[in-house]
Structure 1
């Protein structure tokens, strides 16, 4: 697929009254600073007719006037805390073309080629917090590549922004307006109540420099392993592949029925999320060949909006995600029925409630992170997670509601993301309740996973 970039420019907020907004610092919340500090890219595909780029750019400028953070720049405020400078510096808007029909040119499957459909995010820090690429094809179809900094917004907030962009492009009011109080909403309690373990959960002690004895002497000295780690990472990188699995509506229904069989009548059955994740956890563990005596865990994102009390509005703009970590002996996980895995997931997620979120706020605001030099466990520099997994579910996010005037997208997918042990759950573009799963594993493990991923044990 040959993508020709036609133009690249900065789009700044456009205010209805024409007056520029005041420049100010907005501190990041504790949830913003504990999440992955990386750029994340997603891909949309639209059938014709599609609006001209001028209309998309105008709608983006109007939306940025409401979601100012995207047009700002990350830095440290006057108090030294990480913050967004709301200076309306703008976002990047790229126009590109492909001299071929969409159906012929675009691989609607995990492939490095899809990375050509969004601005580059792999070449180090990017100044703009949001970049978009509009690629038009000879058939009139359009692909939107959306790349954004995760420190600014989680999936829920990003989905809300995209819907707002569609409304603004159609000259409709942006409703409801985002809730933009990240710097004041999550205040620690007085006195603080840290009732859960947050060290080695959301935070960890950074790895210490390794030492090695010098030849012919007894003095240890520090060794720089950065070059060695890069070589190991490059070798692993070449062996990791991403595969898309399609679970039909019927398969999901059978899986839920199997997972919930045997529960007492008073007990609610396991959810789609719990059932599907339990099945995937067992299948990946089996495909990896992990056995008894080796512990495996899975990092699951938990949205705090509905869990905190009082609930945080769905339109809150920022990050509000923590994680649940169900864990199990690998041999036990595979040998016992899927209900066992689903119950481990259910219990781990239930614990991440209002009390847990409040405890995290108190701990993260206590000064312990700074004094102990703790760093987030959410580390995007990791390349291999085996024997563990990380799963992000986008099943409840309104990504398919984006409409620029020609209708909603007919396809949606994450970019090609190479990290062994990562899984993305995405609602199928068929809109019938089926699910797409993007699975990143070592190639030999992935081949085994393909053989067993549709077996309901």
Structure 2
């Protein structure tokens, strides 16, 4: 598979935007210090379809992008170290990177048995790794079949998943011809000082996830597979849990158990699940829903392998639920202060993925995200998927691309465990 870059340009905001240093919170600094690589696949329009005219015109997309960068002006800036040595965003209006490319293969070649990988990322998401690189990078790749892949990379320190999809919704709405108040009725709120630490900081809980002591894993090769959870399988999983269990809880409990079996973990050992919680509504007072910074907190659920395997599935799902429910204002403030102390010591480790111990699992839910609302005027995408996983033992739970009631689970695992995992996942 070959992708040829045709042109590359920086797109600046279409109007004057604030020129200032944007303070980053401890939750911004504790996240992944890299771009989140996603790919959106849009099949070729059917012959005679009036919506196919000027299909994915780069000029139309760039014009809309320039307008979207006005309310989302930090994405046109660059990472910068302030006078005190702390990272911030220099909102200088330099712009986002926009690349146009063409490929010598079809959408079916790539997406029939899609697997995220470093190669997919290299083909579709422009490279950006230094502090001088844009915080937002985009690439429109025209495929041999007439379809398009849009690759997006938004730096995780600039905003979390909710903020990113808010930006994409704004961009696509403007491309469809909406005015800015229609495309973005709730402008993003960029002030992160609402998440400033206390003075002096005080830590009231244990926060192993954010501690360097947690990094006990070693880099290992892995493969990624996509597993469908049919409505029938989901109903079966939920029936084995307490009434009202969430889809995420039931699927994650099942995934956790299958991982323990496939890896052959010792029953007397501990296994840990990384959970990710949106804390906007958990703070007092709550953050605005349109808060654009990182309002994501990560934590660990620890259970003995023997209990994962022998207790009812509902026991595991309930342990996940209780841990997430315990993340309240006091807990979030304690995390912020813990990170502050780690920053002062210079020992903060930003959200490791590939160094997880073999006993652990990280499951992120994208259900509820408006992923498939990304209509630039030529229809919704058929697939929205990560271009590359964060590392081994990570999983995404998301709505299946066919938009029925089924769920897709994207999971990265060591190759030698895949066959056993699949057997347990579907056959029990």
Fold equivalence (TM over 0.5): yes
> Counterpart of 1:369?
342
Q: Flag the 1:339–1:122 CA change in 2: closer, same or farther, 3 A.
A: farther
Structure 1: distance between partners of 2:166 and 2:323: 28
Is residue 253 of structure 1 aligned with residue 235 of structure 2?
yes
Between the aligned partners of 1:286 and 1:317, the Cα distance in structure 2 is 39
Could you say which residue in structure 1 is the equivalent of 2:3? 3
CA displacement 1:349-386 (0-9 Å, x = unmatched): 11112221123334445xx2244333136224x34531
Shift of 1:437: 0.9
Q: Deviations over 1:238-293 (max 9, x none)?
A: xx111110111222122111222xxxxxxx52111111100000001110000222
The answer on whether the counterparts of 1:426 and 1:435 sit within 8 Å (CA) in structure 2 is: yes
Q: Kindly report structure 1 stretches of 4+ aligned residues shifted beyond 6 Å.
A: 122-126
Flag structure 2 segments of 5+ consecutive residues without an equivalent. Answer: 46-51
Q: Distance in 2 between matches of 1:344 and 1:356?
A: 17
Give the match for residue 143 of structure 2. Answer: 137
User: Aligned in 2, Cα 1:115/1:108: closer, same or farther, shift over 3 Å?
Assistant: farther
Tell me which of 88, 97, 104 is aligned to 1:83. 88
Structure 2 contact 204–334 (Cα < 8 Å) conserved: yes
Q: 1:201 aligns with which of 204, 209, 212?
A: 209
1:9-43 CA-to-partner distances (Å, cap 9, x unmatched) read 1111111xxxx334211110111011111222011
What is residue 75 of structure 2 aligned with on the other side?
70
The CA RMSD measured in Å over matched residues stands at: 2.4
Is contact 1:132-1:147 (8 Å) kept? yes
The separation in 2 between residues aligned to 1:455 and 1:350, in whole angstroms, is 31
Match of 1:320 among 278, 291, 295: 295
For 1:413-432, what aligned pairs fall within 5 Å after superposition? 413-417=385-389, 419-432=391-404
Seen in structure 2, the aligned counterparts of structure 1 residues 14 and 312 have a Cα distance that, compared at 3 Å, is same
1:110 aligns with 2:82: no
Number of residue pairs aligned between Structure 1 and Structure 2: 415
Counterpart-to-counterpart distance in 2, 1:252 and 1:206 = 32
State whether structure 2 residue 127 is matched by structure 1 residue 155: no
For 1:53 and 1:123, locate their aligned partners in 2 and report how far apart those are by CA, in whole Å. Answer: 24
Alpha carbons of structure 1 residues 37 and 111: separation in structure 2 relative to 1, 3 Å = closer
- Cα gap change, 1:430 to 1:207, in 2 (>3 Å): closer
Check the 8 A contact 2:128/2:134 in 1, yes or no: no
Alignment of structure 1 residues 238-249 onto 2, 5 Å: 240-249=222-231
* TM-score normalised per structure 1: 0.84
Match for residue 184 of structure 2 among 158, 175, 180 = 175
CA–CA distance in structure 1, aligned partners of residues 405 and 295 of structure 2? 26
- Which structure has the greater CA radius of gyration? 1
Query: Partners of 1:361 and 1:46 in 2: how far apart?
Result: 40
Distance 1:455 1:151 in 2: 40
1:78-132 per-position Cα deviation (integer Å, ceiling 9, x unaligned): 3432100000111111111124442245454115453344224487667111111
Sort the Cα spacing of 1:95 and 1:24 in 2 relative to 1 into closer, same or farther, 3 A: same
Rounded Cα–Cα distance in structure 1 between residues aligned with 2:131 and 2:389 = 17
CA deviation string 1:176-229 (max 9, x = no partner): 23333333222345676643223x232336989xxxxxxxxxxxxxxxxxxxx9
Which sections of structure 1, spanning at least 5 residues, go unmatched?
Answer: 209-228, 261-267
Residue pair 1:304, 1:322 contacting (<8 A) in 2 also: yes
* Contact 1:163 1:402 survives alignment (8 Å): yes
Shift in CA distance, 341/14, structure 1 to aligned 2, threshold 3 Å: same
- Per-residue Cα deviation, 1:430-449 (whole angstroms, up to 9, x for no partner): 21221111111111111210
- How far apart, in 2, do the equivalents of 1:176 and 1:385 lie? 43
